[in-house]
Chain A
Amino acid sequence: MLRDALLMARKDLRIELASRVALGQILPFGALVLIMFGLAISPDLSVLGADERSVLAQVSPGLFWMAVLFSSLLTLGRSFAIESSDGNLDALKMAGLDPAGVFLGKAGAVIVQLLVLELLLGFGAFVLYDAPLSDVVLLVTALILATTAVTVAGTLYAALASGLKVRDTLVPLLVLPVLAPVLLAATLATEAAVFGSSEDGWSWTMLLGVFALLYLGIGMLSFGPILEES
């Protein structure tokens, strides 16, 4: 299983290196979303009295995660477009690869791509929104766990929609509601890490971990039935 997972992940990353879709298209898109949020909310808006930071800076963790979520939808779509453009899912089945391995491999490659993307987007948010940073360890842990959670659940749902002509429209509808708790937990954990405001940062991070593990389990179990007959 792990062997198959590594094989798939290495193949997907190699394809990304050769095609640069994530780096050349999805990353600029994410950055664009960040900029558009700035335009929508206005950097001059601030709540009187309470905090001298602008509203934009205060909500920056949430905006960052929205940008990541949008980008992850594209990355997931890309991950499955690779397999379905030339019927390769059939060939994977004929090779007898372990479905759980395929799942782990595809998710693993997406996690790596998203982490790189988040690093760059995070830097963007830091610069654009004038957000501070107080707890790096918490931030990194939350980032890794949230990315795993987003990817694992997303891969499962993208697979449900794979091989369908309407995949691009269906995946967001299926994935986003499921990721609502992840968005919540990731935003709150990031807020805690960035502003040092709340002690709940670690418990939200824990929730992210639980969610990621749960979906890892569900995905590994149900990937077989999903891929069969498709």
Chain B
Amino acid sequence: MTASTDDVGPIERAEPGGSTTALSRGVGTGSKGTRILGVASLVALVAMLSFGLVFSPPEATQADAVRLMYVHLPSVAAGYTAFFITLVASVIHLRNGSVFWDLVAGSAAEIGVLFTVTMLVSGALWGKPTWGVYWQWDPRMTSTAVMLMMYLGYLALRRLELPPAVRSRRAAVLGIISFANVIIVRYSVKWWRGLHQGQSIGVDTQIDGLILFSLFLGLVSFMLIGAWLLVHRFRVAWLQHQLDQVDLEHALAERRAENEMIGMFGRRSDGDVQPGDLGAST
């Protein structure tokens, strides 16, 4: 099955054997859309910082530590969203084998890992003033740590030297079952801690309006940043894919030249195989 390369982004394709200037000449990963997205996330970030650090009051029980929540909770949301995108992209890739969705899955997982680390670090920093220890074996934190390891494994699998078709298919399978795993780990750890001690931290009923608003701003800015990162990460991955294709064209041309050189009666001049012929198979 020859995968279609119709879903190519805005990036020009270099001709096999020709110059690769199309790739090297200022084709960045930015576009009008992403610049707007970037500016928007910057604005949201500034707003979030000013509300989170200046305008919003300290919380009744947690005092200033609550400000860490403006980073922590949005990281949770953005992280889980990213892994959910990996799940969806993996399902689509497994169905139609397109390179596009494979790269989306991989890019989203990387961003998910990034947010997960933010989540863990901010959570641990919050735990020190609140609980007196960095790591409380809180069910959410514990299951998040396990989840981080799971997706590091996923990324490790993606980095392996395998035929691309094999690698992307295995990654897709892993991307799907990893998400199922997140849920299982989550509930079992919760149950485990629930037995040993009560629910670790209950959300206080009284939440100041400004605190809620700062939280909301945090959510917006992290989602925007996540989207911006995802688009750029994907475009880098796509460029890499294009570059691999170009390398492949060269390799094919060289391979054919071997024949021409030895061939006393080369039966056919090698035609230009269209790059489309070379999409990752099946």
Contact A181 B189 (CB under 8 A): yes
Interface residues on B, range: 20 to 34
Contact A177 B174 (CB under 8 A): no
Assembled-state Cα–Cα distance A188/B195 (Å): 10
Give per-residue flags for A152-180: 1 if the beta carbon is below 8 A from chain B beta carbons, else 0.
00001000110011100010011011101
Is the CB of A218 closer than 8 A to any CB of chain B?
A: yes
Where chain A touches its partner, the secondary structure class is: helix
Q: A170-B153, A173-B149, A177-B153 are in contact. Are A226 and B188 (CB under 8 A)?
A: no
Is the CB of B160 closer than 8 A to any CB of chain A?
A: yes
Residue in contact with B169 in the complex, picked from A161, A176, A225, CB distance below 8 Å: A225
Contact A207 B188 (CB under 8 A): yes
Give the residues in chain B near A161, CB-CB below 8 Å. 157
Contact B162 A181 (CB under 8 A): no
Q: A181-B184, A211-B184, A229-B282 are in contact. Are A200 and B169 (CB under 8 A)?
A: no
Interface residues on A, range: 20 to 34
Give per-residue flags for B134-177: 1 if the beta carbon is below 8 A from chain A beta carbons, else 0.
00000000000011011011001100111101100110011001
Contact B150 A229 (CB under 8 A): no
14 A-B residue pairs with Cβ-Cβ distance under 8 Å, sorted by A, are A160-B173, A160-B174, A170-B157, A170-B160, A174-B157, A174-B174, A177-B181, A180-B189, A181-B184, A198-B195, A214-B184, A226-B173, A229-B163, A230-B166
Identify the 5 closest CB pairs spanning chains A and B, nearest first: A181-B188, A177-B149, A177-B150, A174-B153, A173-B153
Chain A residues within CB distance 8 Å of chain B: 156, 160-161, 164-166, 170, 173-174, 176-178, 180-181, 184-185, 188, 198, 200, 207, 211, 214, 218, 222, 225-226, 228-230
